[in-house]
Structure 1
Amino acid sequence: MLRTLRNQAIALAGLAQAVHLVQQIAKRGQADEEALAVSIASVLKIDAESVEDVFGGLAGIRDGLLKLRQQLGGRESIDPEHARYSAMLVFLESKLEKRPEVQQKIREGVEKAALQAAQSSVTDEAVLEILGQVYHQNISPLGPRIIVSGERRFLTDPANAPKIRALLLAGIRAAVLWRQCGGARWKFLLNRRKLMQETQALLDQLA
C-alpha cells in the first residue's frame, strides 16, 4: 500500500536530505558524498518497486531522517531556511503536476542523465550538468525561483551550480513521491506528531 504515513515520512526524509545537501554545498562548499549519491540516484530511479527502493533502502536517507526529525520537533529546533526551501519545492511540484508537457521534458532529460550515469557514475560531472539543466530549463520557469543563500565563493563556483540544481530536482522528485503517498500540506500540519513518531520508528530501525 502506497498511501501510508510511513511512506510519507520516507518521502519527506528524501526531501529533507536533498535540501540539507544544498545548504551544505552553499555554506561549506562540499556535501556528504554518500548522501549526495543517494539523492541524485533517486532522480534517475523513475520506476521503483517501493518508496524505500527509490533511495536504495532506509540507510540511504539516514541524514534526511535526522533532519526531518529536527524539523518536526519543537519550534526552537526548526531550521527556518530549510523549511522555506522545502515548502517552495513542494509548491513548485504542485505547479509541475498541472503541466504534463513539462513533465515529459523532465523525463526525457532524466533518461538522458541515466544513460550517462550508466557509463560513469551518478555523481559524474556530466550527469550533474544534465540534471542541473533539466531543473534550470523546466522547473525554474514555473516560479517562484528558489534563491539559495550561502557563501558567495561557493555559490559562484562553476562546479557547484549544477550540483545544487540537481539536488533541487531531487527535492522535486521527493515532493512528487510525497504527494503520490497521500501527502498534502494540511495533512502535514494535522499529522505532524504522527509523522514524528514514524520518523523516529524509521531511525530506530537503522539503530
Structure 2
Amino acid sequence: MSYHDLPSRCIAFAAMCQAAYQVDKLACTGNVPNLKAFETSLLSIMRVDSDSPLDVFGGYSGLEIGFKSMQSQLNGNNQGRNMQVTKYIIGMLALEKKLTQDQTVCAQLGERINQVQHQLAHANIDDDLILSNLNLIYKDLISDLGPKIQVNGNPACLQQERTQHKIRALLLAGVRAAVLWRQIGGQRRQLLFSRKVILQQIEQNLRRI
C-alpha cells in the first residue's frame, strides 16, 4: 500500500511539530510537557520497519500534542504560532535534506539505532543510558551535517546534562519524522497551498483520540 497521501503526511509533520514543541518546553522549563508524547517521539526513532506512518508513532493518541501544535502553527494566527517551534522545524528539515544525501551517514545511523534497539530489551526509552546514546547519535552523526539548530531557553535548564540529552534525542526524533515526511511526498508548498484541507485532517485526527 502507498502512503503518499495527505493523512500520512499530516501524521509525519505532526510528529515533527511534536518534537519541536517538546524541545521548546524542555529548553524553557526543564520538563517535558507530556510523558506519553515524549516516549512516542523517541520510540519512533527505533521503528524503522513499521507497516505504516501511523504505526511508527503507535496510533493517534501519542501524537495529540503534535496535532495541536501543528494546528497552532498553520492556523494563520500569529498569536498562536510559536516561532521557536517554527525555527526548530526548519532546522530539522535542513538536516534531513543533508542526511538523505549522505549514504555513509545513513548507514552509520542505522547501525547506531540498531545498537540502541538491543539496549531497549533491558531498559526504558527514558533511561539515562538510552538518552545518552540518542544524544551521542545526534551529536556524532546529525548535528554537523548542516547549520546547527540553536536551541533558546532558560540557561539554568539548558545547562542540565539530562535536559541536553533529552533535547538532542527529540531533535533526532524530529529529523526522523522529517525523513518520513519527505519519503511520503511531503513538500513545503503543500503547507501553504493546502493549509485548509490539512487543518481539516488535523481536526479529524484529534477526534480519533
TM-score over 0.5 (shorter chain): yes
Q: Are the counterparts in 2 of residues 2 and 180 from structure 1 also a CA contact under 8 Å?
A: no
- TM-score scaled by length of structure 2: 0.96
Look up the match of 2:103: 100
* 3-state SS, counterpart of residue 4 of structure 2: coil
Shift of 1:78: 1.4
* 3-state SS, counterpart of residue 116 of structure 2: helix
* In the alignment, structure 1 residue 118 sits paired with structure 2 residue 117: no
- TM-score scaled by length of structure 1: 0.96
Rounded to whole Å, the distance in 1 between the matches of 2:100 and 2:81 is 28
Shift of 1:187: 2.3
Q: 1:164 aligns with which of 167, 183, 191?
A: 167
* In the alignment, structure 1 residue 43 sits paired with structure 2 residue 79: no
Q: 1:66 aligns with which of 41, 65, 68?
A: 68
For 1:20, give the aligned amino acid. Y
Rounded to whole Å, the distance in 1 between the matches of 2:118 and 2:167 is 21
Look up the match of 2:184: 181
For 2:198, give the aligned amino acid. L
Provide the identity percentage.
34
- Quote the RMSD (CA, aligned, Å): 1.0
Shift of 1:7: 0.4
* In the alignment, structure 1 residue 4 sits paired with structure 2 residue 5: yes
For 1:56, give the aligned amino acid. G
For 1:150, give the aligned amino acid. G
Give a deviation string over 1:153-195, Cα, whole Å, max 9, x none: 1101011111110100000010011111110112222222221
Q: Are the counterparts in 2 of residues 18 and 167 from structure 1 also a CA contact under 8 Å?
A: yes
Look up the match of 1:153: 156
Figure out how many residues of one structure are paired with residues of the other and give that number: 206
Aligned pairs (5 A) from 1:46-57: 46-57=48-59
Rounded to whole Å, the distance in 2 between the matches of 1:192 and 1:93 is 22
Rounded to whole Å, the distance in 2 between the matches of 1:185 and 1:91 is 12
Give a deviation string over 1:125-151, Cα, whole Å, max 9, x none: 111111111111111111200110011
For 2:122, give the aligned amino acid. Q
Q: Are the counterparts in 2 of residues 117 and 124 from structure 1 also a CA contact under 8 Å?
A: no
Shift of 1:205: 1.7
Look up the match of 1:19: 20
Shift of 1:12: 0.7
Unaligned residue ranges in structure 1 (runs of 5+): none
Rounded to whole Å, the distance in 2 between the matches of 1:84 and 1:167 is 14
Q: Are the counterparts in 1 of residues 94 and 146 from structure 2 also a CA contact under 8 Å?
A: no
Q: 2:82 aligns with which of 76, 79, 84?
A: 79
Deviates more, 1:70-79 or 1:160-169: 70-79
Q: 1:33 aligns with which of 32, 35, 38?
A: 35
Rounded to whole Å, the distance in 1 between the matches of 2:133 and 2:195 is 36
For 1:34, give the aligned amino acid. K
Q: Are the counterparts in 2 of residues 92 and 139 from structure 1 also a CA contact under 8 Å?
A: yes
Give a deviation string over 1:107-140, Cα, whole Å, max 9, x none: 1111111111121111111111111111111111
